[in-house]
């Protein structure tokens, strides 16, 4: 279910004004027979044709306390050697120890209206046989979209929200220490291309189709 008529802007308003209203408007939503609540329009609906994009990248987490990848993880040693080479340091990949380094995949979601300079949360997951990413720092990692272009670059300390402790023949683990997050660790370098500023009308689609909510959305927009 969608509202279209109410989103046809006048010559004075235009699409940019509608986008601002979309983020600010509060709508009365009824849940069931007697329960009603006020919610933001952007929480219950989205603009047709506008969507977020998934980004992915390969990187290294360093600074681990002996919980990184083992020497048998060849792609980690090769990646570390390549990185050092770019920094002007020659290193033999066959002689590098990576106990304090882990190869990871970094992922994040690029919102439809994110702009250059915006920060995004990043999720990192171990690729090799590292036992924990606790205390590590993600090195500069380009994040690419499905088209292969770099949209953001991530770097920063990893927070895992779990732990792995061993000693005296015992082992204790909480959550998954081989995956973590870098809050605000990615900086957007490229905007998603959109033609919304050139549209003469916009269509808002409800996440859950409901005639009453659609009518109230239209009413709230028209009141603005």
More confident of the two residues 15 and 63: 63
Confidence of residue 221 (pLDDT cuts 50, 70, 90): confident
Three-state SS at 190: coil
Q: Which domain holds residue 203?
A: 2-50+195-223
Mean pLDDT of 42-60: 84
Question: Are both 26 and 95 inside the same structural domain?
Answer: no
Same domain flag for 149 and 213: no
Considering the domain architecture, whether residues 183 and 201 belong to the same structural domain is answered as no
Element (H, E) at 103: strand 101-110
Domain count, the chain: 2
Residues 77 and 161 in one domain: yes
**Residues 141 and 63 placed together within one structural domain of the fold:** yes
Whether residue 126 contacts residue 103, with contact meaning beta carbons closer than 8 Å, is answered with yes
Residues near 206 by Cβ (< 8 Å), separated by ≥ 6? 1, 2, 3, 44, 45, 213, 214, 217
> Minimal CA–CA distance to 155: which of 186, 180, 116?
186
Model confidence over 152-211: pLDDT tens digits? 999 999 998 755 566 556 556 566 789 999 999 999 998 877 666 555 677 777 878 778
Same domain for 174 and 78: yes
In a shared domain, residues 28 and 58: no
Asked whether residue 91 carries a pLDDT value surpassing 60, the answer given is yes
Same domain, 68 and 23: no
Average pLDDT over residues 116-125: 96
Q: Domain check: are 34 and 139 in the same one?
A: no
pTM of the model: 0.70
Average pLDDT value for the chain: 80
């Amino acid at each position: 279910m969608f509202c279209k008529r109410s989103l046809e802007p006048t010559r004075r308003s235009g699409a940019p004004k509608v986008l601002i209203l979309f983020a600010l408007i509060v709508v009365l939503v009824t849940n069931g027979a007697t329960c009603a609540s006020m919610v933001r329009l952007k929480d219950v609906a989205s603009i047709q044709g506008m969507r977020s994009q998934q980004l992915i990248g390969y990187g290294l987490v360093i600074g681990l306390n002996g919980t990184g990848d083992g020497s048998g993880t060849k792609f980690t040693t090769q990646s570390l050697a390549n990185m050092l080479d770019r920094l002007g340091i020659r290193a033999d990949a066959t002689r590098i120890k990576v106990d304090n380094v882990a190869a990871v995949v970094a992922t994040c979601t690029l919102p439809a209206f994110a702009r250059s300079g915006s920060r995004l949360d990043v999720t990192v997951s171990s690729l090799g046989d590292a036992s924990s990413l606790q205390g590590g720092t993600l090195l500069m990692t380009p994040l690419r979209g499905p088209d292969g272009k770099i949209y953001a670059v991530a770097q920063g300390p990893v927070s895992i929200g779990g732990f792995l402790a061993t000693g005296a023949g015992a082992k204790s683990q909480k959550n998954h220490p081989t995956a973590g997050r870098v809050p605000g660790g990615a900086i957007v370098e490229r905007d998603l291309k959109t033609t919304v500023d050139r549209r003469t009308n916009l269509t808002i689609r409800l996440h859950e189709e409901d005639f009453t909510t659609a009518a109230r959305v239209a009413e709230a927009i028209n009141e603005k």
